[in-house]
A and B are shown apart, each in its own frame.
Chain A
Amino acid sequence: MIVLRRLGAGLVVLWVAATAAYLALLAAPGSTVDSIIGDGADTPLIRSQIIQEWNLDRPAVVQYLDYLWRFGHGDLGRSYLLQRPVRDVIGDQIFPTVKLALAAAGLGIVLAVLLALTTRRPWSRRVSSTAELVLVSTPPFLIGLVLLSVFSFQFGLFPVSGDRGLAALVLPAITLALPVAGVLTQVLRDGIDRALEEPFVVTARARGLRERAVLARHALRHALLPAVSLLGWLCGTLLGGVVIIETVFGRPGLGQVTLQAVGSEDMPVVLAVVVFSAAAYVLLNTAADLALLVVDPRLRASTS
């Protein structure tokens, strides 16, 4: 029952998000046909194609329902600027972005767990907290530019731009991972602090477990729970972050597609990317919610 409710809530959010994007298209100044063409070729043939595809000659309700229907089936429309289906445009470019996002997520999570576990003493904690504050407050592109100028321009260790080989992935992944690690470390550290006050920690210590084992086996597990609920946030941060990181490092990917589409007012692509990222967020958030229900029996007891 509660699983269904969570799924339902996720679907509702997704529906509102898709509707908001659609309203944004309608709210654009000028005729809708103009906004869909963007800077693309403007011929009577293309105009009639657009009117047919978006059902612009039919009542508004039909247009809207048809749009939802198409999005629900993964048909994201057609880019009239690139003369290709939006799905292909995104499909071509999504792999480098996913690669970068996964690398950054993995790096960020590992870094955060290590930092939260190892910086327990007052002075190391203070150093780490300061570093986290700086990382969270630094614009990601600055981290990228500094890394670029030191490791690529000064030492020539990594390529300056492009997406060839593993070496090209290192700096962008670090750039994207550092702010993530900053936030996650803070959350994990708070969680560990709170877990250490719980009775089960006293029990574990009374059993003669060493402090390191108490931390890694009991406190960390406990602290991971609030971190799991950040999964949706993580996805959003990564998807938003790649737009900037891909520009800094001259990498191909979804971010570049988005920026080009925004620059040339290629609305079908912009809409698709925006709704796609909202869908990814909702999916991960719902998955995190459900995972928490599985992992933490207390939640099941309190909400059902």
Chain B
Amino acid sequence: MTVALSWRPLRVGGAVPVAGGFLGLMLVVVALPGLFAGDPLAADPFHVLEAPNAAHWFGTDQLGRDVFDRVVHGARHSLTIAVAATLLAVLSGVLLGMLAGLSHRYADEALARSFDALSAFPLILLALLFIAIAGPGTVSLVVAIGLATLPHYARVVRAQTFVVRQAGYVTQAVAFGHSRTRLVFRHVLPNVLGPVPVLAIMGLGEAILFAAGLSFLGMGTQPPSPEWGAMLSEGRNYLSVAPWVSVIPGVIVTLTVIALTVVGRHLQRRVEGRLP
């Protein structure tokens, strides 16, 4: 089979490049917010709650701060939180899932039931429980979301480990007398990771929604930080006179999550299409 044949160009809907482009733009914005927008904390008492216009593309909020500047700088806050939480969930999920998959029956059963129990809590309540103990703030937010979404990855990796440990290359590596560490990290780990990147991309969207939700409730990033959820929460009180203050950050959250889902689903189809 030639390379050209094996790379079957799957039908790329018009949405995928757009979504990819949007995410690319977001990355640039996160890296260099100063390039696009001014000071997100600069108040201007003479231009309070102005509707979107040429000078203030997204309008101004109750302190006269430019909503566009805040949304752009907010990308860094919101996305960093989501990425950190997802990384935490993926790393610990992969380790715990692999540990369960490689353990003896009882240890595996205990771990698997813990994942079940952890996912029996509604994610928001689990995160709130953590925040009740650790106090609100950005770090608690990251750890809370990471903990709450961990079972998702752990379960998949556990199932994948069951498949991999039966595979010929693992049993042969055992026969060669390789050390346990080498076995786990050279042979098992790379092969259980297969579905994880796609899951993580979709999970990132979920993490963004959670972070925004918890900040909206006042349990995450605190004002005046321009985090998207915190902006929504602040702008809520002016909903009747200035809906743009809260609706625009919300729309940006939505667009980001949609873009992540579109790209994630596309990658998922490609990965599945590659399997026999």
Which of A16, A240, A265, A267 has the largest count of B CB atoms less than 10 A from its CB? A240
| A16 B133 Cβ-Cβ under 8 A | no
> A interface, by DSSP: helix, strand, loop or mixed?
helix
Which of B132, B133, B217 has the largest count of A CB atoms less than 10 A from its CB? B132
| A270 B239 Cβ-Cβ under 8 A | no
Q: Verify if A65 is at the interface (C-beta below 8 Å from B).
A: no
| B250 A141 Cβ-Cβ under 8 A | yes
| B247 A145 Cβ-Cβ under 8 A | yes
Instruction: Give Cα A149 to B218, complex, Å.
Output: 21
Interface hits, B67-123 → A, CB 8 Å: 113-114, 116-118, 120-123
Q: Assuming the A-B contacts A16-B116, A243-B124, A244-B124, are A133 and B213 also in contact, with contact meaning beta carbons closer than 8 angstroms in the complex?
A: no
Nearest CB of A to B13, in Å:
10
Q: Verify if B40 is at the interface (C-beta below 8 Å from A).
A: no
Q: How large is the interface on B (under 10, 10 to 19, 20 to 34, 35 or more residues)?
A: 35 or more
Interface hits, A1-45 → B, CB 8 Å: 12-14, 16-17, 20-21, 24-25, 27-29, 35
Q: Verify if A239 is at the interface (C-beta below 8 Å from B).
A: yes
Q: Verify if B236 is at the interface (C-beta below 8 Å from A).
A: yes
Q: Verify if A295 is at the interface (C-beta below 8 Å from B).
A: no
Q: Verify if B216 is at the interface (C-beta below 8 Å from A).
A: yes
Residues of A contacting B254 in the complex (Cβ-Cβ under 8 angstroms): 134, 137-139, 142
| A139 B212 Cβ-Cβ under 8 A | yes
| B125 A137 Cβ-Cβ under 8 A | no
Q: Assuming the A-B contacts A134-B258, A140-B213, are A145 and B131 also in contact, with contact meaning beta carbons closer than 8 angstroms in the complex?
A: no
| A142 B125 Cβ-Cβ under 8 A | no
Considering the complex, give the chain A residue whose CB is closest to the CB of B235. Answer: A145
| A258 B125 Cβ-Cβ under 8 A | yes
Nearest CB of A to B135, in Å:
8
Residues of B contacting A263 in the complex (Cβ-Cβ under 8 angstroms): 218
| A262 B131 Cβ-Cβ under 8 A | yes
| A136 B261 Cβ-Cβ under 8 A | yes
Interface hits, B174-194 → A, CB 8 Å: none
Nearest CB of B to A232, in Å:
8
Residues of A within 8 A of B (CB): 12-14, 16-17, 20-21, 24-25, 27-29, 35, 133-134, 136-142, 145-146, 148-149, 153, 232, 236-237, 239-241, 243-244, 247-248, 258-259, 261-263, 265, 267, 270-271, 273-274, 277-278, 281-282, 285
Residues of B within 8 A of A (CB): 113-114, 116-118, 120-126, 128-133, 205, 209, 212-213, 216-219, 229, 232, 236, 239-240, 243, 246-247, 250-251, 253-254, 257-258, 261-262
